[in-house]
Amino acid sequence: MINRDMNTEEKIEPIKTDEALELVKAELVRTLSKAPLIIREYTRHLAASFGKLIRASSVLTCAEDKDGLVSADAIKIAAAIEILHLATLVHDDIIDNAGLRRGDVTLQKKYGKRTAVICGDYLLSVALRMAAGVKNRKDYIDLELPDYVGRICLGELNQHINNNNLNLTVYQYLKIISGKTAALFEASFYAGALFSKSPDSEMNKYRQLGFYIGMIFQLTDDCIDFENTVETANKPVQSDYEQGVITLPLIHAFANIEELKEKAAKSTLEREEINEAVRKTDGIGFTKMVVRKYYNKSLKLIEKLDASQTKKDKLIYILNKASRLA
C-alpha cells in the first residue's frame, strides 16, 4: 500500500487511477483506525473488512483526465463517498437486524443497535466533512453531496413505508431503489466528471451512467437474494421478504399469481412458497431483463462519451462489476 497521509499539507500531484485507489484505501483505514478514542473500537471493527470499493473506483475512473491521471481532490471525494456508503450499511444492518456483513459480524450485532446508530451518524458527519475539505470549494458545492444524502434517506424511508406492500408496482419499486441505491452511484460518477473538468455537455452523461449502473447493482443484488447462499454472498440471503422488503422478482410473481398475494395477505406465506412462485413465474428472468435494458443504455452512453478507449474500457469493467459479470 502506498504510504501517503492525505491529512498532511503535502501537495499530491495527479497520479494513476490504480495508485489513487490505494490512497483511498489508506485514507479509509486511517480515518477508521484513528477515530476519536470514544468511538475507535467500533470504527476499527468496521475497518477490518472493506467491500470492493466500486463507488470509489467509479469516482476515480470518471475523474481521469486525457493522460489517465486523477487529482488529489478526486481521491478525497472517493474516500468520502465510501465512508458515506459505510454509514448507510451500518444503518441498514440495524433496520434489517442483520448479523453478517462482508463475512463478518455486524456492528449492531456485536455492540448493539444504539451504539450502531450513533456510529452510523458519526460516519455520515465524517464523510461530509471530508468531502467539504476539497481544495476547490466550488467543486464541492457543484456536487451537491448533501442533496444526494437526502435522496438516499428518502429512498430508504420510501422502502420502509412500503414494507409488506403486496400491491407494490414495478414503477414504485424502481422509484425506491433510484434513491436508496442509485443515488450514491450517480453521485460517484458525477463527482468524478466534475474533477476531470469535463465540459458541461458531458456531465449529464456521466450522471445518467451512474444512475443506470446503480439501478443495475441493486436489481442484481435482488436476484442474489434468491440465488446465493450466506456462504457465497457473505451476508444474509433469502431474507428480504422476511424483513418486509418486496423486491422485483417477487413483485413479478405477485402480479402473475393472484392467489399468492391473497395468501401473503393472511401472513401464511412460507419461504419455500416464495421461491417456488418466483421460479414458476421466472421472476429472476424478468428482473434480469430489466437489468439488460439498463445495461444496454449504459453501453450506449459510454460509447457517446468524449473519452479515450482505455477510459471507456474501465467504465465497461465497472458496469460489468455492477452486473456481477466481472
Count of all residues that appear for the chain in the document: 326
pLDDT digits (tens, 9 = 90+) for 2-31: 444 444 334 467 888 889 999 999 999 999
The predicted structure's pLDDT at residue 3:
42
The predicted structure's pLDDT at residue 10:
47
CA-CA distance, 21 to 59, in Å (whole number)?
10
The predicted structure's pLDDT at residue 234:
54
Full residue range of the structural domain in which residue 187 is found: 15-322
- For residue 191, is it within any domain? yes
- For residue 206, is it within any domain? yes
pTM equals 0.91
Q: Which position has the higher pLDDT, 92 or 139? A: 92
Is the per-residue pLDDT at 137 higher than 80?
A: no
- Answer whether 129's CB lies under 8 Å from 89's CB: no
Is the per-residue pLDDT at 50 higher than 90?
A: no
Pairing of the two strands 69-70 and 100-101: unpaired
The predicted structure's pLDDT at residue 229:
57
* Average of per-residue pLDDT across 225-240: 65
Question: If pLDDT is split at 50, 70 and 90, which confidence band does 232 have?
Answer: low
**Average per-residue pLDDT for the chain:** 91
- For residue 175, is it within any domain? yes
- Which residues partner with 16 through β-bridges? 69
The predicted structure's pLDDT at residue 16:
87
CA-CA distance, 205 to 191, in Å (whole number)?
12
- For residue 69, is it within any domain? yes
**Amino acid letter for position 70:** V
Domain count, the chain: 1
pLDDT digits (tens, 9 = 90+) for 81-102: 999 999 999 999 999 898 988 8
* Average of per-residue pLDDT across 208-226: 95
The predicted structure's pLDDT at residue 240:
83
- For residue 73, is it within any domain? yes
The predicted structure's pLDDT at residue 15:
87
Q: What is the CA radius of gyration of the chain?
A: 20
CA-CA distance, 127 to 117, in Å (whole number)?
16
Ramachandran sector of residue 234 (left: φ over 0; alpha: ψ -120 to 50; beta: rest):
left
Residue with cell 453478517: 100
The predicted structure's pLDDT at residue 228:
65
Is the per-residue pLDDT at 161 higher than 90?
A: yes
- For residue 8, is it within any domain? no
- For residue 6, is it within any domain? no
The predicted structure's pLDDT at residue 325:
85
CA-CA distance, 79 to 120, in Å (whole number)?
16
* Average of per-residue pLDDT across 248-263: 95
CATH number of the domain enclosing 94: 1.10.600.10
- Answer whether 58's CB lies under 8 Å from 319's CB: no
CA-CA distance, 295 to 202, in Å (whole number)?
19
- Answer whether 70's CB lies under 8 Å from 107's CB: no
- For residue 146, is it within any domain? yes
Is the per-residue pLDDT at 52 higher than 70?
A: yes
* Average of per-residue pLDDT across 116-135: 94
**Percent of the chain whose predicted confidence (pLDDT) is above 70:** 93
